[in-house]
Structure 1
Amino acid sequence: MRRPTFDLDVLRTFVTGVEFNSFAKAADRLGRSTSAVSAQLKKLEEQIGTPVLTKSGRGLVLTPVGESLLSHARRLLELNDGIFQTLHESQTAGTIRLGLQEDFGEHLLSQILRRFVQAYPMVTLEVRIARNAELLALVESAGLDLALTWDTGQTSPYATRLGETQMHWIGARDTLALTPLADSPLPLIMFDAPCVLRSTATQALDAAQVPWRIALTSPSVAGIWAAVAAGLGLTLRTRIGLPSHLTVISGLPPVPSLGYVLHSSEEDPTPAVKQLAELIKTSLQEQTYGFAVAQ
């Protein structure tokens, strides 16, 4: 059985007439004659099989069926108009400036870019990989539209905490279980200070009275991974972007989770920026769910 289909133009006439409380005004607004509007309303009632309007004094009021139809018609028109708006905006050229902390940049960027380009093929993305302090400064100066950072306690006017992930002690897969001796400080491989992971590592070791030393500092996560793989020491990071040749090391002081925050330079960003923000959120949810399943 073939189901009947509403004519959106007819529904738009119906909704406009009700909102203006005058179908003559609706006809003028929609660029139609009053006779054309009357024909559309007659067609609508014939399709439904019952009146949607009834006379009340000199005017017309909605019947119970008309009230129900009005609610559904508004939703259909909003959906229709939203689809066209999204399709139009996806073809609009522009540039979005995205900032990422390096852990996120290496692992999440490729899948985020692939999904975003499918929705907004005409929009150019400028990506900046940097540390938290630089990214926050760029967001505040409107040098970036979005920035994904670790939650270090610093914030921005339009920041959203998306979630958190566990920090871990990381070493090479062939590293023996390290139980530091009193005269043999644990070698650490870290970013230069200030760094939230560096501070967390040293505070946890101090609290457990485990001696430590900074064996190497690197300005990049790739440099940290290389030094750890070479057996120069351990580092403290999350599983995000963890290379397969490195692993979580047990037997060291427990450490907390680390939150991640998405910062926007505007309270009401463009639809393309909102879509990019949603893709970032979804990718991180998929990532943390994968970690939970693997553990």
Structure 2
Amino acid sequence: MSANFDMDALRAMVVGVELGSFARAATQLGRSQSAISMQLKKLEEQARRPLFRRDGRGLVPTEAGEALLSYARQIIALNDEAAAAVGNSAGAATVRLGLPQDFFEDVMPEVLGLFSQQRPNSHVEVRAGRNYVLEEEVQAGRLDVALAFFKAGSSTSGAHVATLPLVWLAAETMRRPGPAEIPLVLFDHPCLFRQTALQTLDRQRLRRRMALTTPSLPG
């Protein structure tokens, strides 16, 4: 008999993976962490195979989890579209917004608060993702708008909003670059900031080593 996946559990899975943290997913969805854990366990029971594996302090999808994740996004999009079509959204307009994880803790709460005050009948659905993924999601119609970083002069389908400087961050005790290798903490590939940092060091002929790589800000 085919599995009948729970919609709320699928949504918890998608939000948790996109935010890089199921604790953050619990906050965004208004549920407890234990409730999210139970929903993920329920999904694995329905799938009859592991969907996640532990990686450090977090969970990452297995091969089966990645496959289900792709379908989950489509199922949720169709569900929300159907709900809006039959009026279950109570007349509220839904804006699907994509953002890099950089904005979630510092920028998003204040901006969404102001937006809610100005558009009280609107519903904002926020998704986190890498820059290139956000652009693809907009082009595919799965996001209405996204804010993403791109290198100056690169060809994108979006509009230029602002230019921001890149800076190096280091401990106060770190010495100026010398013959020793510079330890780096970077996002894993592909990443615009990673690429720019490595190219800059190469131009300066400075030696470096990867001290830590991470797929997201929470690690």
Superposed displacement of residue 119, structure 1: 1.3
Structure 1: distance between partners of 2:164 and 2:145: 20
Superposed displacement of residue 204, structure 1: 1.1
Residue by residue over 1:136-195, the C-alpha shift from the partner in whole angstroms, topping out at 9 and shown as x without a partner, is: 111001100110000132412xx21011111111123xx31422332x210111111121
Q: Which of 175, 179, 183 in structure 2 is aligned with 1:178?
A: 175
Structure 2: distance between partners of 1:198 and 1:100: 18
Structure 1: distance between partners of 2:95 and 2:144: 6
Q: Does 1:204 align with 2:205?
A: no
Distance 1:215 1:177, change over 3 A: closer
Name stretches of at least 5 consecutive residues in structure 1 with no aligned partner.
1-90, 224-295
Structure 1: distance between partners of 2:139 and 2:211: 35
Superposed displacement of residue 114, structure 1: 0.7
Whichever structure has more strand as a proportion of its residues is 1
Q: Does 1:98 align with 2:97?
A: yes
Distance 1:92 1:120, change over 3 A: farther
The corresponding residue for 1:109 is 108
The TM-score with structure 2 as length reference comes to 0.55
Structure 2: distance between partners of 1:167 and 1:101: 16
Superposed displacement of residue 129, structure 1: 0.9
Q: How does 1:218-237 map to 2 (within 5 A)?
A: 218-223=214-219
Of structures 1 and 2, the one scoring higher in RCO (CA 8 A, sep 6+) is 1
Structure 2: distance between partners of 1:220 and 1:113: 22
Residue by residue over 1:235-278, the C-alpha shift from the partner in whole angstroms, topping out at 9 and shown as x without a partner, is: xxxxxxxxxxxxxxxxxxxxxxxxxxxxxxxxxxxxxxxxxxxx
The structure having more radius of gyration, on CA atoms, is 1
Superposed displacement of residue 222, structure 1: 3.3
Superposed displacement of residue 111, structure 1: 1.2
Name stretches of at least 5 consecutive residues in structure 2 with no aligned partner.
1-89
Structure 2: distance between partners of 1:122 and 1:141: 26
Structure 2: distance between partners of 1:166 and 1:214: 23
Superposed displacement of residue 101, structure 1: 0.9
Residue by residue over 1:26-54, the C-alpha shift from the partner in whole angstroms, topping out at 9 and shown as x without a partner, is: xxxxxxxxxxxxxxxxxxxxxxxxxxxxx
Structure 1: distance between partners of 2:130 and 2:194: 13
Structure 1: distance between partners of 2:206 and 2:138: 38
Q: How does 1:45-194 map to 2 (within 5 A)?
A: 92-152=91-151, 153-156=154-157, 159-172=158-171, 175-182=172-179, 184-194=180-190
Counterpart amino acid of residue 185 in structure 2 = I
Superposed displacement of residue 218, structure 1: 0.7
Structure 2: distance between partners of 1:132 and 1:154: 13
Counterpart amino acid of residue 132 in structure 1 = N
Distance 1:207 1:217, change over 3 A: same
The corresponding residue for 1:214 is 210
Counterpart amino acid of residue 151 in structure 1 = F
Counterpart amino acid of residue 155 in structure 1 = T
Superposed displacement of residue 92, structure 1: 4.7
> Structure 1 residue runs of 4+, over 6 Å off?
none
Give the aligned CA root-mean-square deviation in angstroms: 1.7
Distance 1:105 1:154, change over 3 A: farther
The TM-score with structure 1 as length reference comes to 0.41
Q: Does 1:195 align with 2:191?
A: yes
Structure 1: distance between partners of 2:206 and 2:164: 24
Structure 2: distance between partners of 1:136 and 1:106: 21
